[in-house]
C-alpha cells in the first residue's frame, strides 16, 4: 500500500517520489510516526502546526501503555473475561467451548434458547479477525462444537440484530459505533465517536480488504448525528455521501439511542478505571445499545473519520496523570 500511496500523492501534488520519501522519513522521526501515518493523516496537505496535533503510531503506543498498564489489560484483551466483567451491559447470550463440551445439560439448554445465527470467535482475536457468523438452525450441537474446535474458536455468542435505522443504512453486517473514552480524576471524557458502515460485508471492520471495503462516519458528540461524509481508511478512495449499495444519505443520519450510547460507555469506563483510554464498540438494537467489546490498544486510525488527531489533548492528559 505504501508504494500505491507514493504514486497517488506524487500525481495529486505534482511532487517527486524522492521528495515524498524524504517527507515520510522526516515524519517518522519528528512525530514518532509509522510511514503510513504520513498518508493516512494526509500530512502532505498539512503544514507543521497542523501536523503537531496528530497522534501518530509511536506516540499512541506509548500513550496507551501509560494509560492502560499491561497488568490491567486482560479484561479488555480476552473477550471471555470482558463478558464476565461487563455482565449486564453486553445484552446477549454467550458461552464457551469448554462449557459446552463439558456440561451436556447446559449445552442442550443453551441451544434450546439460542436459534438461527450465532457468532463464533477466538476470545483473543482482534480487528475483526478470527470471527465467523454461522446459522445453527440445521446444525446439531456436535457439528457446532466440531466447527469451533477446527477453527480454534473458544467463544460462542448470540447474534445481535441491529436497529431498523441502521439496517436501512446497511443490512449486510452489524454496523457498530466506536466511542473512545478517557478516564481522568474520576471523570469520564468522551473523546470521539464514529459509525462503522459495512459494504457487502458481514463484518464492519474498517481494515477489511486493505482498508477499502467498509467506511467510517464521524458522529457529533452532542447530537448523535453523522456530521461529515463517510471516509475510507484507504485515503485514495473518495469520500462517501450516499451508501454505495442502499443509497442512504450519510451526513445527517441520526444514531438511535445516542444519549443511551454515551451513558453506556461512561458506565463501562467506571468499571475498569485502571484502564484509562478505551475504544468501546457499541451495537444499537431496537431496544437500545449494548457493548460488543472494549479495546486497550484502539487504533489511531480512529482519528481519520473525524479528521482530528487529539495529540495536544493527550499530552495534557499525560501531564495530569503524572502530576
Kindly list the domain boundaries of the chain, sorted by start residue.
Answer: 2-52, 66-80+163-322, 93-158
* Three cell numbers written together for 61: 503506543
Blockwise average pLDDT, block size 10, the chain, 323 residues: 92 95 96 96 95 96 97 96 96 94 90 89 78 87 92 94 97 95 95 95 82 91 97 94 96 98 98 97 98 95 91 94 75
Residue 250 near residue 258, CB atoms below 8 Å:
no
Cell numbers at 240, concatenated: 462517501
Instruction: Supply the pLDDT for residue 181.
Output: 98
Residue 285 CA to residue 289 CA, distance in Å, equals 6
Sort 314 into a burial class: Cβ within 10 Å, 0-12 / 13-18 / 19+. Answer: buried
Which tens digits make up the pLDDT trace of 143-171?
Answer: 999 999 999 999 999 999 999 999 999 99
Pairing of strands 277-285, 177-184: antiparallel
Q: Quick one: pLDDT at residue 231?
A: 95
What DSSP character marks residue 230?
B
Q: Give every CB contact of residue 206 below 8 A, 6+ residues apart in sequence.
A: 196, 214, 215, 216, 232, 233, 301
Instruction: Identify the pLDDT of residue 323.
Output: 64
**What does the pLDDT look like over 20-61, one tens digit per residue?**
999 999 999 999 999 999 999 999 999 999 999 999 999 999
Strand order across the beta sheet in which 187-197 lies: 215-218, 187-197, 177-184, 277-285, 288-295
- What distance in Å separates the CA atoms of residue 308 and residue 231, rounded to the nearest whole number? 13
Cell of 43: 500530512
Long-range own/partner contacts, residues 235-239 (CB < 8 A, 24 or more apart): 235/5, 235/39, 235/40, 235/42, 235/304, 236/4, 236/5, 236/8, 237/212
Contacts of residue 296, defined as CB under 8 A and 6 or more positions apart, other chains included, come to 64, 68, 73, 76, 77, 275, 277, 278
Secondary structure class of 197 (helix, strand, coil): strand
What is the per-residue pLDDT for 111? Answer: 87
DSSP 48-84: HHHHTTB--HHHHHHHHHHHS-GGGTHHHH-HHHHHH
pLDDT at residue 66 in the model: 96
CATH superfamily, region 66-80+163-322: ATP-grasp fold, B domain (3.30.470.20)
Please state whether 307 falls in left (phi above 0), alpha (psi between -120 and 50) or beta. left
Nearest to 52 by CA among 27, 20, 35: 27
N residues, the chain: 323
The correct CATH number of 93-158 out of 3.30.1490, 3.30.70, 3.30.390, 1.20.120 is: 3.30.1490
Amino acid at each position: 500500500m505504501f508504494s500505491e500511496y507514493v504514486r497517488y500523492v506524487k500525481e495529486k501534488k505534482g511532487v517527486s517520489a524522492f521528495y515524498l520519501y524524504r517527507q515520510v522519513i522526516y515524519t517518522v522521526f519528528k512525530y514518532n510516526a509509522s510511514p503510513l501515518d504520513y498518508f493516512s493523516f494526509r500530512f502532505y496537505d498539512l503544514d507543521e502546526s497542523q501536523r503537531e496535533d496528530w497522534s501518530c503510531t509511536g506516540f499512541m503506543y506509548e500513550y496507551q501503555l501509560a494509560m492502560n498498564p499491561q497488568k490491567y489489560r486482560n479484561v479488555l484483551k480476552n473477550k471471555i473475561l470482558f463478558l464476565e466483567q461487563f455482565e449486564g451491559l453486553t445484552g446477549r447470550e454467550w458461552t464457551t467451548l469448554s462449557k459446552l463440551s463439558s456440561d451436556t445439560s447446559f449445552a442442550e439448554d443453551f441451544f434450546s434458547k439460542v436459534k438461527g445465527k450465532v457468532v463464533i470467535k477466538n476470545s483473543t482475536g482482534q480487528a475483526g479477525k478470527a470471527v465467523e457468523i454461522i446459522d445453527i438452525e440445521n446444525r446439531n450441537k456436535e457439528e457446532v462444537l466440531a466447527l469451533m474446535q477446527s477453527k480454534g474458536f473458544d467463544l460462542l455468542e448470540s447474534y445481535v440484530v441491529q436497529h431498523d435505522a441502521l439496517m436501512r443504512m446497511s443490512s449486510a453486517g452489524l454496523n457498530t459505533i466506536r466511542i473512545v473514552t478517557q478516564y481522568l480524576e474520576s471523570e469520564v471524557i468522551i473523546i470521539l465517536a464514529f459509525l462503522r458502515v459495512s459494504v457487502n460485508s458481514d463484518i464492519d471492520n474498517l481494515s477489511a480488504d486493505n482498508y477499502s471495503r467498509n467506511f467510517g462516519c464521524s458522529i457529533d458528540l452532542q447530537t448523535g448525528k453523522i456530521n461529515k461524509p463517510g471516509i475510507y481508511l484507504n485515503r485514495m478512495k473518495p469520500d462517501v455521501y450516499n451508501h454505495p449499495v442502499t443509497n442512504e444519505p450519510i451526513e445527517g443520519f441520526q444514531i438511535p439511542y445516542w444519549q443511551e450510547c454515551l451513558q453506556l460507555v461512561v458506565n463501562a469506563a467506571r468499571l475498569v478505571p485502571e484502564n484509562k483510554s478505551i475504544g468501546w464498540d457499541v451495537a444499537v438494537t431496537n431496544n437500545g445499545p449494548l457493548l460488543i467489546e472494549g479495546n486497550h490498544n484502539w487504533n489511531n486510525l480512529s482519528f481519520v473519520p473525524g479528521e482530528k488527531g487529539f495529540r495536544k489533548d493527550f499530552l495534557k492528559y499525560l501531564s495530569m496523570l503524572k502530576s
